[in-house]
Amino acid sequence: MSSEACCSIPPVVSEGYEKKGEFIPLGNLEKAYVTGPKETGRAIVIVYDVIGYSSQAIQGADILASSANAQVIVPDLLQGDFADHSWIPPDTPEKLQRWQRWYAERGNPLTYLEPMASVVDTLRDGGAKKIGLVGFCWGGKLATLAATEASGISAVVAVHPGMVDPNDAKVVAVPFALYDSKDEDKEACDAFMKTLESKPFAEKNDRKRYETMHHGWAAARGNLNDEQNLKEFQDVYGRIATFIDKIFDSK
């Protein structure tokens, strides 16, 4: 289905979206959003942005479940302690102070590598044979750091990722897709993908820079009432589904 996934995503709803899945406990976590078929043995873990669960991200999870024929899990790694929407962007001294305090106390991605590994183990124990990881903004950084050889993950996608560091590419050990916005550092993103060119899976990697989109357009900061945002929202989820589907089918 890999050639069809990009063209077969469900229609995107601008307002009043009704989720297809449910919130349930998962492993050591009190809550995770789970949607899609478990019996396929294909799983996709979505790492949300710092704002946590949003209607846009939930709809995106349902799209991937349908398009990639996979169970999609959005674990509550931050356990409800999200950054406040009003702090972002941190463009005043007060907003910056609140953001820095939250990040110092709750936001370091390295803190969540072990919980992420636990989620992957739980899915494997539950029958998942192939697992993809998709991270948005803050979650893109965490997904990148989790893309090691020992992670048990088959593919990683970072969408408008935060804190892009070309050095992080050195630990990436699985096929990688980067879908960055105009607000991400292009030089850093280019250097990141350049490092991946030396990897044995380089030909499987994917990259698209969305020059007309702002940071967060595919997650909590997406405005699906905006025609261009809606178009690119559909495009990026189609690309994610196609990329992961190809990797799952090739292994």
94-148 pLDDT, tens per residue?
988 998 898 898 889 999 999 999 999 999 999 999 999 999 999 999 999 999 8
Q: What is the pLDDT of residues 172-219, one digit of tens each?
A: 999 999 999 999 999 999 999 999 999 999 999 999 999 999 888 898
What's the average model confidence in pLDDT over 27-46? 96
Percent of the chain with pLDDT over 90: 71
Mean pLDDT calculated for residue range 45-71: 93
Could you give the CA distance from residue 94 to residue 232 in angstroms, rounded to a whole number?
33
Cα 176 to Cα 193, 207, 217, 228, distances in angstroms: 9, 9, 20, 26
**Comparing 155 with 224, which gets the higher pLDDT?**
155
Whether pLDDT at 151 is above 80: no
Partners of 23 in the beta sheet? 33
| Residues 10-25, mean pLDDT to the nearest whole number | 82
Q: How many residues does the chain have?
A: 251
Backbone angles phi, psi at 60, to 5 degrees: -60, -40
Contacts 24+ apart (CB under 8 A), 77-84: 77/29, 77/47, 77/48, 77/112, 77/115, 77/116, 77/119, 77/142, 78/48, 78/50, 78/52, 78/106, 79/29, 79/30, 79/31, 80/31, 80/52, 81/106, 82/50, 82/51, 82/52, 83/50, 83/51, 83/107
CA distances for 59 relative to 83, 153, 156, angstroms: 21, 23, 19
* Tokens of residue 88, six digits: 């972002």
Residues 6+ away with beta carbon under 8 Å from 212: 182, 228, 232
Task: Give the pLDDT score at 6.
Answer: 36
User: Is 5 a residue whose pLDDT tops 70?
Assistant: no
Residue 223 above 60 pLDDT? Answer: yes
Dihedral class, residue 69 (left if φ above 0, else alpha if ψ from -120 to 50, else beta): left
DSSP assignment string, 92-141:
SHHHHHHHHHHIIIII-GGGGHHHHHHHHHHHHHTT-SEEEEEEETHHHH
Instruction: Name the pLDDT band for 7 (thresholds 50, 70, 90).
Output: very low
Residue 221: pLDDT over 90: no
Domain boundaries, the chain: 2-250
Q: How confident is the model at residue 10 (pLDDT cuts 50, 70, 90)?
A: low
**Does 251 have pLDDT greater than 50?**
yes
**Model pLDDT, residue 11:** 58
For residues 8 and 186, the model is more confident at 186
Please give the average per-residue pLDDT across 89-95, as a whole number: 85
Residues whose CB is less than 8 angstroms from the CB of residue 97 and which lie 6 or more positions away in sequence, other chains included: none
What is the Cα–Cα distance from 31 to 80, expressed in whole angstroms? 9
Mean pLDDT of the chain: 90
- Percentage of residues in the chain with pLDDT exceeding 70? 94
Please compute the mean of the pLDDT values over residues 55-59 and round it to a whole number: 92
> How far is the C-alpha of 204 from the C-alpha of 245, rounded, in Å?
12
Residue range 2-250, CATH number: 3.40.50.1820
| pLDDT category of residue 15 using cuts at 50, 70 and 90 | confident
